Amino acid sequence: MMDSTMGAVGDRCCACHAVMSPWDVPSFRSECAHAFHLRCASGRAAWIHTPAFLPALPHYQPLRATNYPFVPADVASRFGVCHGGVGNNNGASSTTDLMEVDRQSTCTSTTITAECRHAFHLTCLVPGTWACPVCGACWARSVSSTPSHYFPMPPPAAAVYDDDDEPLEQQQQPPQPMDEGWDLVQRQQGEEERPLLVLDAHCELPAVARGAAHDNFVVMLHAKAPPAAAAGAATEQARAPIDLVAVLDVSGSMAGYKIALLKKAVEFVVDQLGPADRLCARRLIPLTRMTADNGKAAAKAAVNGLNANGGTDILKCLTVAAKVLDGRRHRNPVASVILLSDGCDTYNLGDSYRGYYGVPTKANNTNYRNLLLPSTLSGGNGNGRTPIHTFGFGSDHDALAMHAVAEETGGTFSFIENMAVVQDAFAQCVGGLLSVSAQEVWIAASCTHHGVRVRGVKSGRYASRVEAYGRAASVDVGELYADEERRFLLLVDVPRAGEGEEVTELLKVTCTYRDAATGKVVSLVEKAVSVRRPVVGLTVPEKKELASAEVARERFRVEATEDIAAARAAAERGEHAEAARILDRRQVPAGLAGDARVASRREYEQSGRAVMLAGMSSHAQQRAGSARVFGAMAGAAACSSAGFGLDQVGAAAPAFTFGAAGAYATPAMRKMEDTSRMAREQQQQQTTTAASKSGSFFARNNGGS
């Protein structure tokens, strides 16, 4: 049984809302049974005793070998000082033989679990303790506590619902937490009729010399989401329905051609939603099911009634969107927000944020991150944060602010300079949202060899942790679209092999996730990662021949993404020649990312910044976004892409470009964008034909007169 003071699979820190895995120690659990990371609980005076966890750097050695094995759960469940039991949420102990002891204990129920997996009452530890009283292991943080001005916790307030949301067609049972009472589905690949997420691992080299250690050995973890369910499946729901909130800028700058294109784009989105999906545009319609008879007609009528006037208040609109999602009485499994704006926030950001050429040069990101409601950041759909996918429309939008909103909530930022294709950008995003197949995806790796240690994880914007003195690592992936892929690099220290040791088992990796359509929790069988240990190591030619191409491509992508961030930082400092040099170093073709976008301050501020931020957003999330621009870049960046992309040809060095066709885009996203493109072309053809007929009729009438 899992130690009850530790974060169970699926538990989240009540301060930062990050998932806490079984390896996520040290951890803190308050007397109100809420779990926290130590760094998140330190200094909070909301309990009987205020905890303080300060770095104990002089003593801490994170990769030091220890003679103390991990303590079994039945032993670790006892407190190391007073030997009372660890209480669960209901006050009972985690093991039967400790229940009476726990009831007789006079200590508070506030507990911490140290890196060595020993648990203690907070008040049992001497202030400033930095070593385990039981095993002597050094801790990363010293532990202290002081009495607080404590007031009894008030009863929870009654839930307040936004009652104008329309009930679901068939009310679904809310997903249950992933605790020990939950029936996990454990099976081999292919044993169940519903396809599973595929988890694989690749080592940079197949072999390491037996007599030599290898630091920072790269192991790539590769996860691919289950494919989309067949439409009309008899036993399973084809896909998870969505609650979608549209936040649309209808300020005065959107008048004319812009708002006409926006109306067409939103109408297209409405047509793609099913009867179980719900759409909300707060000033127009509440959260309404998109039924063919009433829902879609009401939504289209409301959209067609839009008028452009007034200013832009992004924060107010996001606050309203958060209230809509947080106030739902009934909830679909998937929830998301799409935000489109063509200008700057005229209510919350002043003129000091606009540059010489009238385009934004900086954004008060702190304001955006702090003023978003907790429900927006923590989410209410059982899958952490509610993503906000932002779209910068035209060259005058605030790219930094839109990018900050997307990054903070796990969404993507797209730049639409070519306003004629705004519908395609929406289509690509909605195509992904309507194909979510896995939620709460959690990938964990644990070292199996006693000398193997994980030094770091390259995971982009996804939260990752190295835990238990380097013996374990984890990545919180969150939500995946059907057929979507994620790749993460683990940097592993491989020790020398023992005499006669032909194979070293480095890691065991596993993945737990929730099937979005069925709500079932799936735990994949562990996969072992090993490397051969020959007496004689590989030669340089052998390394080049046997090196993993998958790992090489991902390593190149990570390094190139870091270069793009460095080039953007140089451009922000006004060092445009240095920015162009950094991009040229990655063989970015001229006209795609080089001098055309970073060569001068004017060009960079008008479009270069937005293009680079869109690409960085896509690469950090490994999710398709858009950089749909005019001119030389339009042929590449307007494709269903990730803003930047990779193209590997044989064994040659990969070419890194903006908007390589197909980068990160899933089949569902490509299909939806193709549908949008065909619809646009058909409308344009009909408009051209009608104009031609009208012109012929006018000419005939003039000729006859």
What local confidence, expressed as pLDDT, does residue 282 receive?
66
Contacts of 637 (CB under 8 A, 6+ apart): 592, 611, 626, 627, 628, 629, 643, 658, 659
What local confidence, expressed as pLDDT, does residue 701 receive?
61
Q: How confident is the model at residue 106 (pLDDT cuts 50, 70, 90)?
A: very low
Higher pLDDT, 656 or 331: 331
* Residues paired with residue 641 on neighbouring β-strands, in sequence order: 625
- At 125 the three-state DSSP class reads coil
The Cα 244–Cα 337 span in angstroms is 6
Half-sphere exposure at residue 641, Cβ-oriented, CA atoms within 13 angstroms:
26
The Cα 612–Cα 630 span in angstroms is 15
What local confidence, expressed as pLDDT, does residue 149 receive?
53
What local confidence, expressed as pLDDT, does residue 398 receive?
87
What local confidence, expressed as pLDDT, does residue 426 receive?
93
What local confidence, expressed as pLDDT, does residue 163 receive?
47
Find the mean pLDDT for residues 101-105: 36
Q: How confident is the model at residue 44 (pLDDT cuts 50, 70, 90)?
A: low
Q: How confident is the model at residue 627 (pLDDT cuts 50, 70, 90)?
A: confident
Q: How confident is the model at residue 45 (pLDDT cuts 50, 70, 90)?
A: low
What local confidence, expressed as pLDDT, does residue 607 receive?
86
The lowest-confidence range among 306-320, 401-415, 433-447 is: 306-320
Contacts of 405 (CB under 8 A, 6+ apart): 314, 318, 339, 368, 372, 388, 390, 411, 413
Could you tell me which CATH number the domain at 198-227+437-539 has? 2.60.40.740
The lowest-confidence range among 44-48, 137-141, 201-205, 315-319 is: 44-48
Answer whether residue 290 shows pLDDT above 90.
yes
Q: How confident is the model at residue 40 (pLDDT cuts 50, 70, 90)?
A: confident
Answer whether residue 521 shows pLDDT above 50.
yes
Answer whether residue 313 shows pLDDT above 60.
yes
What local confidence, expressed as pLDDT, does residue 686 receive?
82
Nearest C-alpha neighbor of 658 from the set 699, 617, 700, 704:
617
The lowest-confidence range among 44-53, 60-69, 436-445 is: 60-69
Q: How confident is the model at residue 595 (pLDDT cuts 50, 70, 90)?
A: very low
Nearest C-alpha neighbor of 341 from the set 276, 257, 402, 261:
402
Query: How many Å from the N-terminal Cα to the C-terminal Cα in the chain?
Result: 95
Q: How confident is the model at residue 119 (pLDDT cuts 50, 70, 90)?
A: confident
Could you tell me which CATH number the domain at 242-347+369-434+564-621 has? 3.40.50.410
Q: What percent of the chain has pLDDT over 70?
A: 66
What local confidence, expressed as pLDDT, does residue 13 receive?
75
The mean pLDDT value of the chain amounts to 75
Nearest C-alpha neighbor of 607 from the set 618, 593, 620, 617:
593
Answer whether residue 84 shows pLDDT above 50.
yes
Contacts of 681 (CB under 8 A, 6+ apart): none
Nearest C-alpha neighbor of 290 from the set 241, 352, 240, 336:
241
- At 146 the three-state DSSP class reads strand
What local confidence, expressed as pLDDT, does residue 289 receive?
93
What local confidence, expressed as pLDDT, does residue 23 receive?
54
Instruction: State the CB neighbour count (10 A cutoff) for residue 66.
Output: 15
What local confidence, expressed as pLDDT, does residue 134 receive?
79
Answer whether residue 591 shows pLDDT above 50.
no
Under DSSP, the state recorded for 464 is E
Answer whether residue 183 shows pLDDT above 90.
no
What local confidence, expressed as pLDDT, does residue 431 receive?
95
Answer whether residue 88 shows pLDDT above 60.
no
pTM: predicted TM-score of the whole model, two decimal places: 0.72
For residue 164, what are its two tokens? 């104008």
What is the SS3 assignment for 37-85? EHHHHCCCCCCCEEEEEEECCCCCCCCCCCCCCCCCHHHHCEECCCCCE
Q: What percent of the chain has pLDDT over 90?
A: 34
Q: How confident is the model at residue 489 (pLDDT cuts 50, 70, 90)?
A: very high
The domain ranges of the chain are 198-227+437-539, 242-347+369-434+564-621
What local confidence, expressed as pLDDT, does residue 388 receive?
92
The lowest-confidence range among 337-341, 345-349, 582-586 is: 345-349
- At 235 the three-state DSSP class reads coil
Answer whether residue 147 shows pLDDT above 90.
no
Answer whether residue 427 shows pLDDT above 90.
yes
What values do phi and psi take at 388, rounded to 5? Answer: -110, 115
Q: How confident is the model at residue 629 (pLDDT cuts 50, 70, 90)?
A: low
Higher pLDDT, 382 or 693: 693
The per-residue pLDDT for range 226-283, each reduced to its tens digit, is 998 754 444 445 789 999 999 998 888 888 889 999 999 999 999 999 999 999 986 6
Q: Which residue has the tokens 């005229």?
A: 346
Q: Which residue has the tokens 């009863």?
A: 155
Helical packing angle, 422-433 and 257-272, nearest 10°: 30
Do residues 266 and 246 make contact, with C-beta atoms less than 8 angstroms apart?
A: yes
Answer whether residue 435 shows pLDDT above 70.
yes
What values do phi and psi take at 479, rounded to 5? Answer: -105, 140
Half-sphere exposure at residue 311, Cβ-oriented, CA atoms within 13 angstroms:
11
What local confidence, expressed as pLDDT, does residue 111 receive?
82
Q: How confident is the model at residue 164 (pLDDT cuts 50, 70, 90)?
A: low
For residue 267, what are its two tokens? 């109408």
Answer whether residue 699 shows pLDDT above 50.
yes
Answer whether residue 634 shows pLDDT above 80.
no
The per-residue pLDDT for range 559-568, each reduced to its tens digit, is 988 988 999 9
Answer whether residue 636 shows pLDDT above 50.
no
The lowest-confidence range among 143-152, 461-470, 666-675 is: 143-152
Answer whether residue 397 shows pLDDT above 60.
yes
Find the mean pLDDT for residues 476-499: 94
Answer whether residue 365 shows pLDDT above 50.
no
Distances (CA, A) of 335 to 287, 332, 388: 12, 7, 10
Q: How confident is the model at residue 10 (pLDDT cuts 50, 70, 90)?
A: very low
